[in-house]
Amino acid sequence: MGSQPGMPIALRSIHSSSCRRASEEGLQLNEKTALYDIVIVGGGVAGTALACALASNPVLRDNRVALVEAMDLTSTIEWSPVKESYSNRVVSLTPGSMNFFERMGVVEHMNLSRVHGYGDMEVWDGVTDARIKFDTSLLGSKKDTSKESIAYMVENIHLQNAMLKRIRECNTRGAQVDILQKARVASIGNEQSSTEFDVSDWPSVKLESGDVLQTRLLIGADGVNSPVRNHANIESLGWDYDTHGVVATLKLDDSRPNNTAWQRFLPTGPIAMLPLSEGYASLVWSTKPEIAKILKGVSSDDFCKLVNAAFRMSTIDLNYLYEYTWREEVANKSKSTIEVWQREESLPPAVVSIQDKSRASFPLRMRNSERYVADRVALVGDAAHAIHPLAGQGLNQGMLDVACLSKVLEKGTLEGQDIGKLNLLRDYAAERYGRNIVMLSACDKMHRLFGTDVAPVTWIRSLGLSAVNSSDSLKAEIMKYAMGVESSR
């Protein structure tokens, strides 16, 4: 049975209408080369989500898909929650992203005791103390609030574990996603294969093992240094912030409820505490690389003191605090002062300890690819764009990419188009490019606006924050946008 390039149907259907694997149907071109409809490079959250979206979609599940990941996924596949112990790689998912996971059938495989929704958020200026409070009651209608949480805290490994389970389930129902782990891509090119149908313009992905995957559509979900993006000669534009994000899992004083996300903007960068469960929170402290180094090097006790102080002390005192003698002084402050700190409702619960080995740091940057698509190539997630984590939007943008790309591929399939062709892929780029730029530039401007303690700027931003805080309707609009509520419909 022959086939032409650009045939709209999935490889499996080309060779047989039965439900047998494509490789069994002769799509193993030779000992080393296999043909796929879609190869996804990168089994991080974005790549795994795309594999899941394809496998769970009745129109797309006939495609033969390979998910190629360099890392060993054993611990992800075997993950199960350990009480009072949390991974330090956590994301705040918008209700829009959660709805997407629900539609793909992933939520059924999640352990909901490890998904913590929060309904309040307090954001304030560390220099002027001007503050904005958000809570879901501002949205009025319960329909919009999507279970009345602003966002949901989930460990990345938990999300991936649930998606891999869902892919396995879909495979038992006819989908065919091959998960290739410990499979690093060595090079990508275009190689002529000796096959009965012409696949000469299909990218071929060579793995370090020597195996070659030739594909109708190549997806780059391979993170900020994307090899797929390099193969497609797509430039990544942007800059590095002179800032690192320090993360850690915190144990809190549990006499206070833990349903609020707290973020204080310091001139060195924002510090955020996000609730994981009663008594536990995730820290994301964006700061100068030299301060990040101190934060990672100090004892656990000193680290807790520094976090508590960063939410409470003046920015001038904080500059001294990074020195050891100053930390001692904070520790020796009268017990009564510390008790007052702990009781203050406008401040987060005090940190009492940090989870062992949970401290890590990541360089922060702003990137946007010059294009998201090329012929037979599309980029999603951090391969396409990277954002400052101050609004917790990076992966949420990635999920919107995945939802949009699968919708475009579904439309192309129903119309009988070749899913690798640029004409079709352009619909994906057209929808996502502008929207991602709006979010990237909003977060970049916030980072710059708050990254100074120069007086005229601090007055203006303080006025701005107070003005927004006094307008419930404006706050509701900001919340809806950040929650992805509109886009989830």
Ligand X SMILES: Cc1cc2nc3c(=O)[nH]c(=O)nc-3n(C[C@H](O)[C@H](O)[C@H](O)COP(=O)(O)OP(=O)(O)OC[C@H]3O[C@@H](n4cnc5c(N)ncnc54)[C@H](O)[C@@H]3O)c2cc1C
Whole-angstrom Cα distance, residue 124 to residue 176?
49
Residue 276, burial from CB neighbour count under 10 angstroms (0-12, 13-18, 19+): buried
**290 DSSP assignment:** H
List, as own/partner pairs, every contact residues 335-341 make where C-beta atoms lie below 8 angstroms and the sequence separation is at least 24, other chains included: 341/308, 341/312
> Nearer Cβ to ligand X, position 118 or 341?
118
CB of 456 to ligand X, least distance (A): 31
CB of 405 to ligand X, least distance (A): 13
CB of 379 to ligand X, least distance (A): 9
CB of 238 to ligand X, least distance (A): 14
Type of residue at 288? K
CB of 292 to ligand X, least distance (A): 11
List, as own/partner pairs, every contact residues 449-458 make where C-beta atoms lie below 8 angstroms and the sequence separation is at least 24, other chains included: 450/125, 450/265, 450/267, 450/270, 451/267, 451/268, 451/269, 452/267, 453/127, 453/267, 453/315, 458/125, 458/127, 458/128
What is the CA 116 to chain-centroid distance, rounded? Answer: 16
Q: Could you tell me which of 41, 20, 23 has the C-alpha nearest to residue 32?
A: 23
> Nearer Cβ to ligand X, position 44 or 126?
44
CB of 411 to ligand X, least distance (A): 23
Place of tokens 């259907």: 13
> Nearer Cβ to ligand X, position 222 or 418?
222
> Nearer Cβ to ligand X, position 44 or 270?
44
CA distances from 465 to 45, 131, 394, 448 (A): 34, 6, 24, 15
> Nearer Cβ to ligand X, position 20 or 147?
147
Whole-angstrom Cα distance, residue 337 to residue 187?
60
Q: How many residues does the chain have?
A: 489
CB of 408 to ligand X, least distance (A): 18
What is the CA 456 to chain-centroid distance, rounded? Answer: 35
CB of 401 to ligand X, least distance (A): 9
Q: What is the token pair recorded at 171? A: 């495979």
Q: What is the token pair recorded at 472? A: 């419930």
CB of 295 to ligand X, least distance (A): 13
CB of 180 to ligand X, least distance (A): 9
Q: Cα-atom radius of gyration of the chain, to the nearest Å?
A: 24
Type of residue at 40? I
> Nearer Cβ to ligand X, position 13 or 243?
243
Instruction: Give, in degrees to the nearest 5, the angle at Cα 89 between 86 and 91.
Output: 100
> Nearer Cβ to ligand X, position 302 or 382?
382
> Nearer Cβ to ligand X, position 91 or 304?
91
> Nearer Cβ to ligand X, position 361 or 458?
361
CB of 389 to ligand X, least distance (A): 4
> What is the binding site for ligand X (CB under 6 A)?
41-47, 68-71, 91-92, 184-185, 221-223, 227, 245, 247, 284, 362, 381-382, 389, 392-396, 398
> Nearer Cβ to ligand X, position 34 or 330?
34
> Nearer Cβ to ligand X, position 12 or 166?
166
CB of 302 to ligand X, least distance (A): 21
> Nearer Cβ to ligand X, position 60 or 221?
221
**CA 286, 289, 291, 297 torsion-angle sign:** positive
Whole-angstrom Cα distance, residue 481 to residue 488?
11
All residues at 6 or more sequence positions from 104 whose CB lies less than 8 Å from its CB, including other chains? 49, 52, 53, 56, 163, 166
CA distances from 257 to 133, 151, 476 (A): 16, 17, 24
336: enclosing H helix or E strand: helix 335-343
> Nearer Cβ to ligand X, position 153 or 199?
153
CB of 69 to ligand X, least distance (A): 5
Helix ranges (DSSP H) in 146-235: 156-172, 227-231
